């Protein structure tokens, strides 16, 4: 399941942001009648189609895995999570239908109708992600039910379940992550092509749209992260303690940068401590009490080292991405044109994968940090997972499937990018008689 999620989430976040970028490019074509904008919209539409197809395959695998690998979870939580999953399916099919209209509607439907189809693709892609995140938010902060004496959920209200306290913070964080990761990754690709001397008319326009989508999201992402962290402090204090390697319950807890949590000796080594900063950030009170890992039995703690290191990686990658995005956006506003300086273009190339890596690290934090619970405080992972042996066989098969799909995606997207690479014109040669060769 972890391998499937790690593969799928890349295509899920691309499916949120790429349709918006292709729509913006087409909108600029409508406003200017510049053929370069039209070419850009069509190229991004082709890329979106390829990535959407792979995302649909990996998402289908995940839907099967929920039922086959987690029977205990689906039996308990199905009446609540069924509602957001159904809405996600509706949003997905809406996206698929209008993506087909968009791809095959060039020249067959009116300009405004075609642009509207693209806008529906962009909106339904974001809606699909939000509905899925609502399920995960409910798993982190479950509401909308009563637990009966036999452990089953009764009095179920799926609408209330979708309104979990974690729903808005997680949805905001995920959607911003999608725009930031995809926009800045695309910006890095086009910055690389500009450094190679590819068509400035095409790649500078592409870089402009990518920065307008990715840079603001990357800058806002730390703010949404702060909102999410304060929610975790209230609803999942053990996860917060694991994020920070906080072993003791104390007031004025420090914020730790780096470090290695030693779970056997229950201490975090080699960390840089900022006094009272964790209490301030988590509760907006420098003297607030932060619950430590020692306050709960070892059986109720997540793998602290994994969670702490994943959190540190997410923050470091996201901060670097936000810094470069801020520099690019300031340059864009001050000069009224996309960055030209080679140092900033190189910086965009370097941070291009940071958003995707930060997203992967963030989902490790979310899922591993909740352990040993699959539904926080309600259902343990050990009671939710299938007891069926031999799962290594389908795991290997699905991993090979993902590797194959990944290779195909890289080849197809690489060919689309290669078509815009600078062409080297061979030097003229002459025949033995001195006449130019044909």
Residue 373 included in any domain: yes
204 and 295 together in one domain: yes
Compute the distance between CA of residue 222 and CA of residue 176 in angstroms, rounded to an integer. Answer: 10
17 and 127 together in one domain: yes
Residue 117, CA distances (Å) to 91, 121, 219, 383 in order? 14, 6, 29, 44
Instruction: Name the 3-class secondary structure at 323.
Output: helix
Residue 429 included in any domain: no
Task: Spell 234-246 as b/e; 16+ CB within 10 A means b.
Answer: ebbbbbbbbbbbb
377 and 395 together in one domain: no
pLDDT of 341 reads 85
How many CB atoms are located within 10 Å of the residue 342 CB? 11
Residue 68 has pLDDT above 50, yes or no: yes
Which tens digits make up the pLDDT trace of 72-101?
A: 999 999 999 999 999 999 999 999 999 999
* Average confidence score pLDDT of the chain: 91
143 and 24 together in one domain: yes
Residue 386 included in any domain: no
Compute the CA torsion angle 392, 358, 206, 188 (nearest 10 deg): -90
368 and 243 together in one domain: yes
Residue 267 included in any domain: yes
268 and 405 together in one domain: no
Domain that holds residue 356: 171-381
pLDDT of 56 reads 87
Question: Which of these ranges, 60-64, 140-144, 178-182, 360-364, has the smallest mean pLDDT?
Answer: 60-64
Give the model's confidence band at 423: pLDDT under 50 very low, under 70 low, under 90 confident, else very high.
low
- Count structural domains, the chain: 2
199 and 88 together in one domain: no
Our CA angle for 290, 320, 357, nearest 5°, is 85
Residue 366 included in any domain: yes
Residue 205 included in any domain: yes
The alpha carbon dihedral of 341, 347, 352, 356 has a sign of negative
Within 13 Å, how many C-alpha atoms sit on residue 211's CB side? 28
Which tens digits make up the pLDDT trace of 196-221?
A: 887 788 999 999 999 999 999 999 99
249 and 228 together in one domain: yes
197 and 283 together in one domain: yes
How many CB atoms are located within 10 Å of the residue 410 CB? 10
Which tens digits make up the pLDDT trace of 323-360?
A: 999 999 999 999 888 888 899 999 999 999 999 999 99
Residue 432 included in any domain: no
228 and 374 together in one domain: yes
Residue 80 included in any domain: yes
54 and 129 together in one domain: yes
pLDDT of 199 reads 78
405 and 344 together in one domain: no
């Amino acid at each position: 399941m972890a391998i499937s999620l790690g593969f799928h989430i890349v295509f899920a976040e691309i499916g949120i942001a790429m349709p918006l970028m292709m729509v913006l490019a087409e909108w600029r074509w409508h406003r200017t009648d510049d053929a370069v904008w039209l070419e850009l919209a069509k190229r991004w539409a082709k890329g979106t189609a390829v990535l959407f197809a792979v995302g649909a395959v990996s998402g289908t695998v995940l839907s099967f895995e929920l039922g086959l690998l987690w029977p205990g979870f689906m039996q308990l939580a199905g009446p609540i999570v069924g509602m957001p999953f159904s809405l996600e399916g509706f949003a997905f099919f809406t996206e698929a239908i209008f993506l087909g209209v968009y791809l095959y509607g060039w020249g067959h439907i009116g300009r405004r109708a075609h642009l509207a189809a693209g806008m529906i693709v962009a909106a339904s892609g974001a809606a699909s992600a939000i509905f899925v995140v609502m399920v995960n938010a409910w798993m982190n902060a479950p509401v909308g039910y009563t637990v009966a004496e036999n452990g089953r959920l009764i009095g179920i209200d799926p609408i209330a379940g979708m309104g979990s306290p974690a729903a808005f913070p997680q949805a905001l964080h995920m959607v911003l992550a999608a725009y930031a990761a995809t926009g800045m990754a695309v910006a890095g690709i086009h910055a690389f092509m500009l450094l190679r001397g590819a068509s400035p008319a095409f790649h500078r326009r592409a870089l402009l749209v990518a920065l307008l989508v990715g840079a603001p999201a990357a800058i806002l992402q730390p703010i949404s992260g702060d909102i999410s962290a304060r929610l975790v402090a209230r609803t999942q204090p053990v996860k917060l303690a694991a994020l920070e390697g906080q072993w003791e319950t104390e007031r004025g807890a420090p914020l730790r940068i780096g470090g290695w949590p030693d779970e056997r000796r229950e201490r975090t080594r080699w960390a840089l401590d900022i006094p009272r900063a964790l209490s301030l950030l988590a509760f907006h009170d420098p003297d607030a009490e932060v619950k430590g890992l020692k306050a709960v039995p070892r059986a109720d703690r997540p793998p602290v080292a994994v969670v702490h290191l994943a959190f540190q990686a997410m923050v470091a990658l996201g901060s670097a991405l936000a810094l470069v995005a801020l520099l690019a956006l300031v340059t864009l506003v001050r000069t009224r044109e996309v960055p030209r300086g080679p140092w900033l273009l190189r910086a965009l190339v370097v941070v291009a994968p940071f958003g995707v890596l930060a997203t992967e690290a963030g989902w490790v934090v979310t899922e591993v940090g909740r352990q040993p619970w699959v539904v926080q405080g309600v259902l343990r992972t050990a009671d939710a997972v299938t007891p069926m042996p031999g799962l290594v066989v389908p795991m290997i098969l699905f991993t090979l499937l993902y590797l194959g799909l990944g290779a195909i995606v890289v080849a197809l997207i690489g060919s689309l990018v290669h078509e815009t690479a600078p062409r080297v014109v061979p030097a003229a040669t002459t025949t033995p008689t001195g006449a130019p060769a044909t």
